[in-house]
Amino acid sequence: MAPSQRPAKKMVSRCNPETERGTLVFDIAGYSLLKGLGDGKFIRSASFAVGGHDWCIRYYPNGDWSEDCKGYVSIYLELMSKTTGTGVMACFDLRLLNQATGDSKVLKNQVITRMFEGVHLVWGTKIFMKTCELETSPYLKDDRIVIECDIAVVVGTLVHASETVCEIYVPPSDLMDDLRKLLEAEKRTDITFKVEEEVFQAHKFVLAMRSPVFEAELYGPMADKRRQIMIEDMQPAVFKALLHFIYTDSLPAMDDLNENEKEEMVKHLLVAADKYAMERMKLMCESIICKRLHVDSVATTLAPADQHNCNKLKDACIGFISSKKKDDVMASKGYEHLKRVCPTIFMDIWENAPKSQKI
């Protein structure tokens, strides 16, 4: 179903759970005596009411009934009340009191959210803490440990009754699409550009809004009053792509170009973006070029990056060169051109290259 055809009527159910909180404290003296209970044996704390239900802590001094918990202390939260319907949802953590500082600590970030229902009326951690670690920790003092459990119980109805809501669909913005159509249809244009043998119609106020260079050229003190302006340092395809970005804030798809042609086109667009002070377009071109760096192209990329103040792309090129073997870079087709056009840039490469790979 198309977005504009979405129904105006829909059903809404809301989940807004309320909770009641409490803390259970189980103060256990005679730790060493309880070790004699045997594997799988436990003691319970007194029950404590939270959220309309009774809860207690189970403590297994020698681990619960599982084989893999031997040598561990096991601790569980148990729901003592009978459940009806879907059970009881609770979020809880099990912690030990540091008797030296008075602070309690959740071990291993053991915060648990569980549904207590049917046979699952007990949840916790069977490998809560190694017995040997507990006996040398500040949690055991004077043959006594203190277990605390912070619990939040969901109370009331989880899902509220459904309600009917009338909805008016708001379509996404089509401003850029409208501007693109305005450019393509050449409606109400007031400026013409001639690039080689091709002519492009545009709107002065759009160009001025998107580029401070166009603004100065078309509306500034030295504004060009001609209705046709010659562009002599740019190819028609590049200027067309520049206009596309100005009107749509995106680069054209370039599906008709192969990979090498796309790479060259993006480099030309970077130069055009720098000329007309369009920083977003410039950064987009830098990002695309950066992802396509390779040994054969990095030298020819570094020269225009330096000339057009593309600092991020320049740093990426220098880092790329520094990470490669110097013989591979020197053998590339653009290396000699780079030395001739930008000789000072080699100081940057020298300072960033590892000592074992100086160029």
- pLDDT tens per residue, range 191-211: 999 999 999 999 999 999 999
Q: Are 91 and 63 in contact (CB under 8 A)?
A: no
Domains located in the chain, CATH noted: 18-155 (2.60.210.10), 176-357 (3.30.710.10)
127 vs 68: CA distance, rounded Å = 8
Lowest mean pLDDT among 309-313, 323-327, 348-352: 348-352
For residue 227, what are the CA distances in angstroms to 116, 192, 194, 233, 259?
A: 78, 6, 11, 19, 37
Helical H segments across the chain, by residue range: 31-34, 131-134, 175-185, 204-210, 212-219, 236-248, 259-275, 279-291, 295-307, 311-322, 326-330, 335-341, 345-352
pLDDT for the residue numbered 112: 84
Quick one: pLDDT band at residue 333, thresholds 50, 70, 90? low
pLDDT for the residue numbered 214: 94
Reading the block at residue 64, the tokens are 């619960």
pLDDT for the residue numbered 157: 59
Residue 163 pLDDT greater than 60, yes or no: no
Quick one: pLDDT band at residue 213, thresholds 50, 70, 90? very high
pLDDT for the residue numbered 60: 94
pLDDT for the residue numbered 38: 84
pLDDT for the residue numbered 4: 53
Quick one: pLDDT band at residue 340, thresholds 50, 70, 90? low
Quick one: pLDDT band at residue 354, thresholds 50, 70, 90? very low
Pick 170 or 184 by higher pLDDT. 184
Average pLDDT value for residue range 323-341? 64
pLDDT for the residue numbered 356: 38
Distance of CA 200 to the CA centre of its chain: 41
Tens digit of pLDDT for each residue in 253-293? 888 888 889 988 999 999 999 999 999 999 999 888 888 88
Strand, coil or helix: 223: coil
Q: What is the mean pLDDT of the chain?
A: 82
Quick one: pLDDT band at residue 54, thresholds 50, 70, 90? very high
Residues pairing with 90 in the sheet: 114, 153
132 vs 41: CA distance, rounded Å = 19
Average pLDDT value for residue range 1-11? 59
Inter-helix orientation angle 311-322/279-291, to 10°:
10
Residue 159 pLDDT greater than 70, yes or no: no
DSSP 145-188: EEEEEEEEEEES-SBPPPEEEE----PPP-HHHHHHHHHHHTTT
Phi, psi of 101 (to 5 degrees): -110, -20
SS3 content of the chain, % helix, strand, coil (to 5): 35, 30, 35
Neighbour tally for 267: CB within 10 Å:
20
The answer, as to whether pTM is greater than 0.85, is no
SS3 sequence, 274-293? HHCCCHHHHHHHHHHHHHCC
Strand, coil or helix: 31: helix
65 vs 62: CA distance, rounded Å = 9
- 43 CB burial (10 A radius; 0-12, 13-18, 19+): middle
Pick 183 or 329 by higher pLDDT. 183
2 vs 86: CA distance, rounded Å = 39
How many C-alpha atoms does 130 have within 13 Å on its Cβ side?
4
pLDDT for the residue numbered 24: 92
